[in-house]
Chain A
Amino acid sequence: MIYDQTREMLAALFPAVTGDDDQGEAEAAKDGARSNGLIERDYRVHGYHLDAQVDPDQLLEAVGLLDRLEYFLEAITGVDWIADNQLEVVYDFSRYDKTPCRVVIRTRLDRQNPQVPTITGIFAGANWHERETHDFFGISFIGHPHLIPLLLPEDADFHPLLKDFKA
């Protein structure tokens, strides 16, 4: 029920491109950087149901939609796709009710100038997660109220989870 509802609402973000599981995964395997769109994943293998890659401009819309559907924010993190010269921000969402539906929202950013709007206006709990992602990857969350190092020392000017980081 909620799965179908979420899928339809997320799919509406991508008028043209939606792929089913096989197609999407084959595409992802073939070429690291997949195009934006919604993929349905096999929960038993991957541990989540829906995987939407959005444009940074669509992020607030997608997250706002999950907020209206009463999802909670599980975590935010980044992945450094250095071969594609891109950084990815990954948002994990889940639900409190008995029909599990895990949704992953991801967005790809330019590695040289990684900027993405903050979602702290929608989920107050994103605050620390975004600060942590800024610590580790140097991603700027535009509009974040307090983007200073959280886990790293207060004068840290390095981003240890970048693949080209040398200690």
Chain B
Amino acid sequence: MNSPILLQPDETFILNVGPQHPATHGVLRVKMELSGEYIVEAETVIGYIHRMHEKMGELKTYPQFLMNLSRMDYLGALGYSHGHVLLIEKACAIEVPERAEYLRVIMVELNRIASHLFWFGAFVMDLGGFTPLMYALQDREHILDMLEAVTGSRLTYCYFRFGGLYNDVDDDFVKAARRFIPRMRTSLDKYRRLVTENVIFRSRLEGNAPISKEMCRKYGASSAVARGSGIDFDVRRNEPYSVYPEFDFDIPVFPEGDSLARYRVRMEEIEQSLRIVEQALDKLPGGPIMPDKKPKLIKPPAGDYYQAVETARGSFGIRLVSDGSKNPYRLKLRSPTYSNMHLFDEACRGMLIMDALAFMGSLDLVIPEIDR
């Protein structure tokens, strides 16, 4: 018998979105209770690719753990490594040469642009526009080539060392980076005309999933989720680290709180990152990339240490409890998407399922980074 299932008017049903679904960009599952096409209740199920990085942190020595950080967020890996090396340098009082710190910022910002470009392409693809992804990947390719030449890898970089860097840049890199900046600006203009000003795109996102400031605070949201809700919060500005105070850049903030605001924050951030790279290239000092004096064995004095950095996905925190030995006693990784995704369950109540998926795209999820 193939008779249709008739639902009573007040009856709901459960729909599993994921764990293998293109819209979730990875192994993420959302258990949605639907009434027609409206979401009554949603429960996000994570942990499908949990690898227990924090236990690995306890079992490995400090330098051995360097590579783990880039395996959390495969799109913006350098930001996470940056937090880790800054934490250990702070705890062990290691001086970093100025050139190394400038180069770190250049790499992190290039990586941020690459990450935002990929998000941009994938997000527009979620909404049904395929072409921008190809343009975005083409631009991103230039960055990956530059980073590959210097760091030796295209995604899972292990470029930062405690006290400095693994490799200095050559003239080719500087030339390529300088060439890239005007190219990217042209592309940004293209994206603006092609996507941002597109009527269909705008009416799809305007008013989609408004998030209040209060909700951001209760969940600890950061990055474009907070800045799209009118919260002027960027760790680079709020708790300046590295050489960021040297640069002139803006923190884009949009008050609307909807998906379009989150989109515009990230697109504006690409331009701001370009400005930082440009200034850093101009000011790039000479000198060594590793300090002269560096402890042979990394052993932070016993105590608690915390370091926050602004990665492409938001405020990444790393908390170390050291007992003075060569392994961390406890290493906690606070991943930004974890908090950003957490508010999805509450925010998507009463939304149409298609709107919820557009909203999910606007959160910029990278699942290995949530699951750690």
Contact = CB atoms under 8 A, between A and B. Distances in A.
Contacts of B306: 46-48, 92, 102, 104
B47 A151 contact: yes
B342 A47 contact: no
Query: Which of the listed residues A41, A44, A150, A160 has the most CB atoms from chain B within 10 Å of its own CB?
Result: A150
A37 to B, nearest CB: 15
18 contacts: A41-B304, A46-B305, A70-B217, A71-B217, A72-B220, A75-B332, A79-B329, A90-B332, A92-B306, A94-B308, A96-B233, A123-B219, A124-B346, A125-B342, A127-B342, A128-B342, A152-B50, A153-B47
Interface string B34-75: 000000000000110010101100100000000000000000
Contacts of B203: none
A124 B308 CA distance: 22
A150 B315 CA distance: 22
B55 A161 contact: yes
Nearest to B219: A125
A124 B321 CA distance: 26
A25 B303 CA distance: 8
B193 interface: no
B317 interface: yes
A5 B105 CA distance: 35
A1 interface: no
Band of interface residues on A: 35 or more
Interface string B307-337: 1100000010101010000000110101000
Interface string A71-88: 111110101100000000
B302 interface: yes
Contacts of B233: 96
Contact of B317 (A74, A96, A136): A74
B252 to A, nearest CB: 15
B231 interface: yes
B210 to A, nearest CB: 17
A12 interface: no
B102 interface: no
Contact of A72 (B218, B321, B329): B218
Given A45-B90, A47-B307, A74 B52 contact: no
B25 to A, nearest CB: 18
A104 B332 CA distance: 14
B23 interface: no
B46 A151 contact: yes
A139 B360 CA distance: 31
Contact of A96 (B52, B231, B319, B334): B231
A117 B302 CA distance: 29
Interface string A124-156: 110110000000100000000000011111000
Contacts of A79: 321, 329-330
Given A72-B220, A100-B239, A92 B334 contact: yes
Interface in B158-210: none
B58 to A, nearest CB: 8
B2 interface: no
A28 B323 CA distance: 11
